[in-house]
Structure 1
Amino acid sequence: MTYTLYIGNKRYSSWSMRPWVLLKALNIPFDEKLVFFGSDLASQRTEFLRFSPSAKVPCLIDDSSSAAIFDSLAIIEYIAEAYPAVWPRDKLARAFARCAAAEMHSGFGGIRTDCSMNVALRIQLGPRSEALQRDIDRLTELFDEGIGKFGGPWLAGKEFTAADAFYAPIASRCKTFGIELDGEAGRYLDRLFDHPAVQQWVDEGITEPGIVARIEADSIRGRKVLKNLGEQMMLDFLGL
């Protein structure tokens, strides 16, 4: 069984990051098709409709049947049919992991709104909105619960699963905006960010072309950019 995974810019696409990180972390073979977001949304939609019925990413194509799975959580469940390691083996841990992934899939609007994903920038956040602080508090509670119940080092036990992949973009957003979680939750978030699959995504996002002005502006929103890692890497390469 072979898969083709269509993704958007690694710099920006949190939805694409989740199944990509999971496939990499579990060594599940797949072909990557990177399709850049465009400056014109109508043209982007036309381009994305060529491979995704929803005109959105990610979209997984099962090469054996040409089936298109065009939702990140549905992609995870589809892969789990062939690769049970996507979810924890323990029944209670598996239920918790599914709950955590579903909560991320449909919730955390505060951090999505205030902290757009941009792996290449470090931005001074400024005052936190009430919605953002509620999300930070909930993330801390959720991570503490998972580590406390199942012993870590990952959210639902010893093995990296879909639950961790679903929170990988949160680890990236927190790095971008300087958000730190307390205690065990913070240590888990650091481990997640340092996972090789997450680091590969971030590194490739920092160096990829295809910067989109409208998405950059949404990330910054007039806030102070403390560092542009893409520019820094170029300076380091040139020895400047």
Structure 2
Amino acid sequence: MVETASTPDGKVKAGAKVPEKATLTISSKTYSAWSLRGWLMCRLAGLEVIEKPVPNDANNRAELLLLSPSVLVPRLTYDGASVWDVLAIAEFLNEECPDAHLFPEDRIARAHCRSVSGEIHSGFTNLRSALPMNLKVRHDSFPVFSGARPDIERVEAVWTECLETYGGPFLFGEHPTVADAMYAPVATRFLTYAVAVSAPCLAYCKTITEWAPMAEWIAAAKAEPEEMEELEVEF
């Protein structure tokens, strides 16, 4: 088992044992919400990864199938293990790097964190389709499909409850957790499409985009080739 400790910005503390290099297969940093989630979890764990980008076009579907039976990225390869699906990656990293505290220490808060993370993992289909992640654009106004409104309202309710219960600035208090990694792409969507949300939720969106690992990812996304086409399916 790897012994490590991380700071709130996802970096390893001075003097901590740095885990061996791992490989994380990802797709577009501009459009891939799932890749972002997995990458943020690795940063939270203090796990240094070698990124393996896979272009998102039909010609690479076979390669993706070989990498992951679910045809989804990210895929973490580490110390003989191969893990895909972001929640599986979260639980794996929590076992491998327990001192990083990817989940809250308190049992009740930990259960809450797992619940809201599972909710964003399996739901919010209308929000995903109406407001796809795109880190290269900002709209001053955007007509939001009415079917996405209940999803937006539910996200606001989740964030408001967490921020009020645990005091912010992250969902479960002072330090980011798996829940913040899971909702980070939603925060970017709300800013990209100028979605009207409450002041506390808007402040949370800014907290996420100013979080050091997020700032790093966004900068890399903006540097991606302009000819990359936006995906119809969220990888």
TM-score for the superposition, normalised by structure 2 = 0.83
Deviates more, 1:12-21 or 1:26-35: 26-35
The residue type paired with residue 82 of structure 1 is: E
Structure 2: runs of 5 or more not aligned: 1-18
Shift of 1:210: 6.8
Partner Cα separation in structure 2 for residue 156 and residue 141 of structure 1: 14
2:27 maps to 8
| 1:96-127 alpha-carbon deviations (Å, 9 max, x no partner) | 11111101101111210101111111246543
Partner Cα separation in structure 2 for residue 55 and residue 47 of structure 1: 9
1:77 maps to 91
Q: Does 1:170 align with 2:202?
A: no
Shift of 1:56: 2.1
- DSSP-derived class of the 2:138 partner: strand
Please show how residues 194-233 of structure 1 align to structure 2 within 5 Å.
194-209=210-225, 211-213=227-229, 215=231
1:225 maps to none
Partner Cα separation in structure 2 for residue 201 and residue 131 of structure 1: 30
Partner Cα separation in structure 2 for residue 177 and residue 137 of structure 1: 15
Partner Cα separation in structure 1 for residue 28 and residue 114 of structure 2: 26
CA distance 1:12–1:214, change in 2 (3 Å): closer
- DSSP-derived class of the 1:6 partner: strand
2:46 maps to 27
Partner Cα separation in structure 2 for residue 25 and residue 100 of structure 1: 18
| 1:10-43 alpha-carbon deviations (Å, 9 max, x no partner) | 01100010020122244322221112212xx2x2
| 1:81-104 alpha-carbon deviations (Å, 9 max, x no partner) | 012311111111111111111011
Task: Report if the CA contact (8 A) 1:36-1:210 is conserved.
Answer: no
- DSSP-derived class of the 1:86 partner: coil
Shift of 1:193: 1.6
Shift of 1:192: 1.0
2:158 maps to 142
The residue type paired with residue 6 of structure 1 is: T
Higher helix share: 1
Partner Cα separation in structure 2 for residue 118 and residue 184 of structure 1: 23
TM-score for the superposition, normalised by structure 1 = 0.82
The residue type paired with residue 116 of structure 1 is: P
1:120 maps to 136
- DSSP-derived class of the 1:121 partner: coil
The residue type paired with residue 42 of structure 2 is: L
Q: Does 1:60 align with 2:76?
A: yes
- DSSP-derived class of the 2:155 partner: helix
- DSSP-derived class of the 1:36 partner: coil
Partner Cα separation in structure 2 for residue 26 and residue 74 of structure 1: 14
